[in-house]
Amino acid sequence: MVHLKSEREVDLLREAALLVSRTLAVVAARVQPGATTRELDSIAEEFIRDHGAVPAFKGYKVGSVVFPATLCTSVNDAVVHGIPDDQPLKECDLLSVDCGVVLDGYVGDSAYTFAVGELSEDDRQLCTTTYQALEAGVAQAVAGNRTGDIGFAVQSLCEARGYGVVKDLVGHGVGRNLHEDPQIPNFGRRGTGRKLKSGLTICIEPMINRGGAAVRTESDGWTIRTADSLPSAHYEKTVVVRQDRPEVLTDFSIIEAALSYVPYGAVAGLNDS
């Protein structure tokens, strides 16, 4: 069941999304070779709780499997849902960090893929394309369009450049719950899928692989990896569907101000929302 949000609810979601962006900025400043994802997770949880919120992911259940951490930290061929650990990050690693909070009863949810040191040119292009695909999908989040318009924008851009678009995982509605209707696939046909209405709040999150689209699940029940072991990138924004143009609640500029390198969206001229 789709729940359209009131302006009061949008205000609450905006505050939750802002806290996620600020948390990811704190994490961004600590991403470097030698750091561990468990350390980043601890920093994020402390920051979230210090600001009157709780982690949305920690304790989240799918069936009987419980996610044990504040952040999803997915390195290189891990697409999403990686569990923080004590393995030091290495030069040239790709690190996707997905963060969720519950603030005043509403959920913020966003993800950003960071470079650990210098990336290879292939991985740099993967990040730039995934970032561009997110922006292309967000641009379609206007009333009267359909979920297939968002998916088509993401899929067509990425597949034209030879990347694999993950189809086993999707974006989603967001509000009082972390995952609400409707699902927002990163693939589709124009003019198909659920019609978007003003006041709908959704998370658009391309998960794009440098190789094929196929993925597999690790024995931990959470970590999703590329089937061919090639790297993956993941960016996510929370968006309100509006009549004329989408309203983006996530603020990547806060995250990118904390980076020690030029963000890959900025290289593409796309870090303006």
> What domain range includes position 84?
7-267
Residue 267: what pLDDT?
Answer: 57
Model confidence band, residue 218 (pLDDT cutoffs 50, 70, 90): very high
Tell me: the pLDDT tens digits for 18-60? 999 999 999 999 999 999 999 999 999 999 999 999 999 999 9
Does 20 fall in a domain?
yes
Model confidence band, residue 262 (pLDDT cutoffs 50, 70, 90): confident
Exposure class string for 180-199: b at 16+ Cβ within 10 A, else e: bebbbbbbbeeeebeebeeb
Does 2 fall in a domain?
no
Tell me: the pLDDT tens digits for 149-162? 999 999 999 999 99
Which residue type sits at 53? A
**Distance between CA atoms of 66 and 135, rounded to whole angstroms?**
32
Does 56 fall in a domain?
yes
Does 178 fall in a domain?
yes
Which CATH number covers residue 222?
Answer: 3.90.230.10
Tell me: the pLDDT tens digits for 119-129? 999 999 999 99
* Whether the predicted pLDDT of 185 surpasses 90: yes
* pTM confidence score: 0.96
- For residue 120, give the 3-state DSSP assignment: coil
Tell me: the pLDDT tens digits for 60-85? 999 889 999 999 999 999 999 999 99
The mean pLDDT of 268-273, rounded to a whole number, is 44
Q: Are 173 and 144 in contact (CB under 8 A)?
A: no
The number of domains in the chain is: 1
The total of other beta-carbon atoms located within 10 Å of residue 162's CB is 10
Q: What is the mean pLDDT of the chain?
A: 96
Residue 31: what pLDDT?
Answer: 97
Does 1 fall in a domain?
no
Does 142 fall in a domain?
yes
Edge-first strand listing for the sheet containing 180-184: 180-184, 171-173, 201-204, 237-240, 247-248
Tell me: the pLDDT tens digits for 83-104? 999 999 999 999 999 999 999 9
Pairing of strands 71-75, 94-103: antiparallel
Does 273 fall in a domain?
no
